[in-house]
Amino acid sequence: MLALLKHLKPYRTFVIAVLLMMFAGIMLELYLPTLMAGLVDNGIAKSDINYVWRTGGIMLVCTILAVGLTIFVTYLSSRITQGFSRDVRRMLFTHVEGLSMEQFDRLGTASLITRTTNDIRQVQDVISMMLSMMTRAPIMLIGGIILALSRDVTLSIVFLVTLPVLAIIIFFVTRKVIPLFSVLQKKTDRLNLLLRESLIGTRVVRAFNRTQFEKDRFQTANEDYRDTGIRVNRILAVLYPIMMIAMNATSIMIVWFGAGRIDQGAMQVGNLMAFLQYAMMILMSLIMLSMAFVAIPRAQASAKRINEVFALQSAKQEVKSDIVLGEDVQQQGAVISFEQVSFRYAGAEKHALKDISFTAKPGQTTAIIGSTGSGKSTLLKLIPRFYDPEIGKITINGVATNLLDVDELRSLIGYIPQKASLFRGTIRHNLRFGNPHTTDQLEQQALEIAQATNFVNSKEKGILDEVSQGGGNLSGGQKQRLSIARALARQPLIYLFDDSFSALDYKTDAKLRAALKQVTEKSTVIIVAQRVNTIIDADQIIVLHDGEVAGTGTHEQLLKSNIIYQEIVQSQQMEEESV
Ligand SMILES: Nc1ncnc2c1ncn2[C@@H]1O[C@H](COP(=O)(O)OP(=O)(O)OP(=O)(O)O)[C@@H](O)[C@H]1O
């Protein structure tokens, strides 16, 4: 929690102003019962109307000032807390953007969303409480005790009974409720996860008639969350009535013993009224403190979850040297070498890639082929450092990629993922995603090569037509073509096609590859493909089997000597013949 509070630094002037104004406001509030005691004992009891008017007037001014200060303090506090949560949200978002894919997989998207929204909200609420109740309560408590003692020391003995009882109750209740808060946050994660999964996959859910199943799954998680929430509130529900009973019992005792003291002539009526008000202030402060005791652990559970994310070292900070490829790579192109690379996903028993070595040269196309799950996509993902090899290294022009600045490394790459991922906005917005300075001419060229011109032109607003979230209003093939055009518009030195032609028909696939050849003369192209046809012309083909290289060569060489490649080709021929 303290680690997060340092983000309040930019608002320290505001915080100091709030504390000073709050202090002034409390002093005015504490002064009111004293004024009232005078008004009753000196004004009303002695029928001194002038005294009543004068003191009443002062009381009114004090009240107006206190109200004014409270309003201003509330305004400033909300500026501080809203600003704080905006800053932390921004920092967390930026930090998450820099995390490695492995860290991303480990935390999970749903949990990251909860941490960026709900958890920050919990911390924001407690800071808001700190700026109001938590600072107000101790000042009021101490001030109230001093002033109550100054009114009547004997009557103050009442507090010796009530205060310890209240403290014990608060202690036991908070001890029971604190562990439940982290459970509650975890259940929020689960709710978010189910919501995301079911909303994103809504078409599949409906097509497979699993709506009821999804509803039940969500209902179970929802009720589980509700039950924990009820358990928390059931415990808290005990706290406040007990507080109220304690407060009323204290009032009764004060009035009871106070009346006796008035009878004995040891106390005046106004004094008793003031004492009663101070007693209420003391007890109210205790209630406020107990609320804080409950709120702090909840925010602490959230702060811990936020700090867990901040504690993860950003992939960008892992750079250990300041080597840059600079202009050389632009002149010579990029030679990518895998040197005995092995990789295993976090928590996986088996290696996804084992002892992979090959070199991909500029101006050449390197193709990766292999059965499902053989590690093709994983191999591509290691190049932009979505993941880092466990053993071995990947170099570009002789420099290990983990020694390069991630931004520089990725600026060389045009990555076309297996599942085209587009963003809300116009087609142009998507095309310029990787290069905001793309010219109109380059944009058109990219669309031409990606065989997307026709379908883009057929849209009502052409390139300015809207793409809905995730490209929901486009076909699979259209999404793939735009995804390819987006990479082309970047004019990168390295192209990584991850099975990016799978949704294209044979004719379009061939046309696209022919067009691509003209603009990738200087580039290093690595294509992952399922179809042999797509890679038949590749300069080298790497056959992957179970995460290992089972053969390297051209189509003809492999066809002659590599059994696995022969099997792939045969199975595809059979498929084509059977169609
Ligand atoms: N994020 C991940 N976490 C854990 N294991 C993973 C992850 N992604 C892939 N794997 C595993 O790694 C292995 C290789 O997967 P990869 O996606 O590289 O295969 P692929 O050859 O591209 O398959 P396909 O042709 O079906 O796309 C598989 O066994 C897969 O289950």
User: Domain check: are 377 and 295 in the same one?
Assistant: no
CA distance 205 to 218: 13
Question: Confidence class of residue 217 from pLDDT cuts 50, 70 and 90?
Answer: very high
User: Domain check: are 166 and 216 in the same one?
Assistant: yes
Which residue, judged by its Cα, is nearest atom 18 of ligand 1? 375
pLDDT in tens, 431-488: 899 888 888 888 899 999 999 888 888 888 888 988 887 777 888 888 989 999 999 9
Distance (angstroms) between ligand 1 centre and the Cα of 394 equals 19
Q: Is the pLDDT of residue 408 over 70?
A: yes
User: Domain check: are 279 and 392 in the same one?
Assistant: no
Residue 262 lies in a domain: yes
pLDDT in tens, 516-567: 888 888 899 999 988 888 888 899 999 999 999 999 999 999 989 889 999 8
Q: Is the CB of 376 under 6 A from ligand 1?
A: yes
CA distance 335 to 449: 24
Q: Is the CB of 378 under 6 A from ligand 1?
A: yes
Residue ranges of alpha helices (H) inside 201-268 are 202-207, 211-263
The DSSP element (H or E) to which 95 belongs, if any, is helix 49-97
Residue 418 lies in a domain: no
> Is residue 431 a contact partner of residue 456, using CB atoms and an 8 Å limit?
no
Per-residue confidence (pLDDT) for residue 383, from 0 to 100: 94
User: Domain check: are 278 and 289 in the same one?
Assistant: yes
CA distance 449 to 440: 14
pLDDT in tens, 239-266: 778 888 888 888 899 999 999 999 988 8
pLDDT in tens, 145-194: 998 888 888 888 888 888 888 888 878 887 888 788 878 878 888 888 88
Question: Confidence class of residue 578 from pLDDT cuts 50, 70 and 90?
Answer: low
Nearest C-alpha neighbor of 15 from the set 134, 143, 138 = 134
Q: Which residue has the higher pLDDT, 482 or 197?
A: 482
Determine the distance from the C-alpha atom of residue 524 to the mean position of all C-alpha atoms in its chain, rounded to a whole number: 36
Task: Report percent pLDDT > 70 for the chain.
Answer: 97
The mean pLDDT value for 98-102 works out to 80
Distance (angstroms) between ligand 1 centre and the Cα of 344 equals 10
Residue 479 lies in a domain: no
Domain end (from 291, 316, 341): 316
User: Domain check: are 241 and 363 in the same one?
Assistant: no
Measured CA distances, 565 to 173, 413, 539, 556 (Å): 69, 28, 15, 10
Measured CA distances, 64 to 21, 56, 240 (Å): 14, 12, 30
Question: At 309, which CATH number?
Answer: 1.20.1560.10
pLDDT in tens, 371-399: 888 999 999 999 998 888 999 999 999 88
Cα torsion for 192, 194, 200, 202, to the nearest 10°?
Answer: -140
What is the CB neighbour count within 10 angstroms for residue 265?
Answer: 7
**3-class secondary-structure state, position 541:** strand
Per-residue confidence (pLDDT) for residue 353, from 0 to 100: 95
Per-residue confidence (pLDDT) for residue 572, from 0 to 100: 79
Residue 486 lies in a domain: no
Per-residue confidence (pLDDT) for residue 314, from 0 to 100: 67
> In the structure encoding, which two tokens stand for residue 285, read together?
């402060």
> In the structure encoding, which two tokens stand for residue 178, read together?
């604190």
Domain end (from 281, 316, 351): 316
Distance (angstroms) between ligand 1 centre and the Cα of 501 equals 18
Residue 466 lies in a domain: no
Residue type, 33: P
Distance (angstroms) between ligand 1 centre and the Cα of 559 equals 26
Distance (angstroms) between ligand 1 centre and the Cα of 284 equals 60
Per-residue confidence (pLDDT) for residue 284, from 0 to 100: 87
What is the CB neighbour count within 10 angstroms for residue 75?
Answer: 11
CA distance 187 to 229: 10
User: Domain check: are 352 and 231 in the same one?
Assistant: no
- Mutate which of 99, 345, 500 for ligand 1 pocket (most atoms within 8 A of beta carbon): 345
Question: Confidence class of residue 319 from pLDDT cuts 50, 70 and 90?
Answer: low
User: Domain check: are 258 and 400 in the same one?
Assistant: no
Q: Is the CB of 14 under 6 A from ligand 1?
A: no
Question: Confidence class of residue 132 from pLDDT cuts 50, 70 and 90?
Answer: confident
Distance (angstroms) between ligand 1 centre and the Cα of 347 equals 13
- Mutate which of 105, 378, 531, 546 for ligand 1 pocket (most atoms within 8 A of beta carbon): 378
Average pLDDT score, the chain: 87
> Is residue 484 a contact partner of residue 512, using CB atoms and an 8 Å limit?
yes
Structural domain containing residue 377 = 319-412+494-500+527-579
Q: Is the CB of 257 under 6 A from ligand 1?
A: no
User: Domain check: are 326 and 303 in the same one?
Assistant: no
Q: Is the CB of 500 under 6 A from ligand 1?
A: no
User: Domain check: are 144 and 95 in the same one?
Assistant: yes
Question: Confidence class of residue 232 from pLDDT cuts 50, 70 and 90?
Answer: confident
Q: Is the pLDDT of residue 571 over 80?
A: yes
The DSSP element (H or E) to which 549 belongs, if any, is strand 548-553
Q: Is the CB of 375 under 6 A from ligand 1?
A: yes
Q: Is the CB of 374 under 6 A from ligand 1?
A: yes
> In the structure encoding, which two tokens stand for residue 236, read together?
């808290």
Residue 96 lies in a domain: yes
Which residue, judged by its Cα, is nearest atom 29 of ligand 1? 373
User: Domain check: are 357 and 223 in the same one?
Assistant: no
Closest ligand 1 atom to 374 CA: 21
Per-residue confidence (pLDDT) for residue 320, from 0 to 100: 55
Per-residue confidence (pLDDT) for residue 318, from 0 to 100: 56
User: Domain check: are 242 and 369 in the same one?
Assistant: no
Q: What domain count does the chain have? A: 2
Q: Which residue has the higher pLDDT, 3 or 524?
A: 524
User: Domain check: are 259 and 333 in the same one?
Assistant: no
Residue 396 lies in a domain: yes
Nearest C-alpha neighbor of 555 from the set 571, 575, 539 = 539
> Is residue 542 a contact partner of residue 367, using CB atoms and an 8 Å limit?
yes
Q: Is the pLDDT of residue 360 over 90?
A: yes
Strands (DSSP E) found in 289-419: 336-343, 353-360, 365-370, 391-396, 399-400, 413-416
Per-residue confidence (pLDDT) for residue 315, from 0 to 100: 57
Distance (angstroms) between ligand 1 centre and the Cα of 378 equals 6
Q: Which residue has the higher pLDDT, 349 or 549?
A: 549
Residue 461 lies in a domain: no
Distance (angstroms) between ligand 1 centre and the Cα of 417 equals 13
Question: At 572, which CATH number?
Answer: 3.40.50.300
Per-residue confidence (pLDDT) for residue 316, from 0 to 100: 54
Which residue, judged by its Cα, is nearest atom 23 of ligand 1? 373
Per-residue confidence (pLDDT) for residue 351, from 0 to 100: 92
Domain end (from 316, 340, 357): 316
Q: Is the CB of 55 under 6 A from ligand 1?
A: no
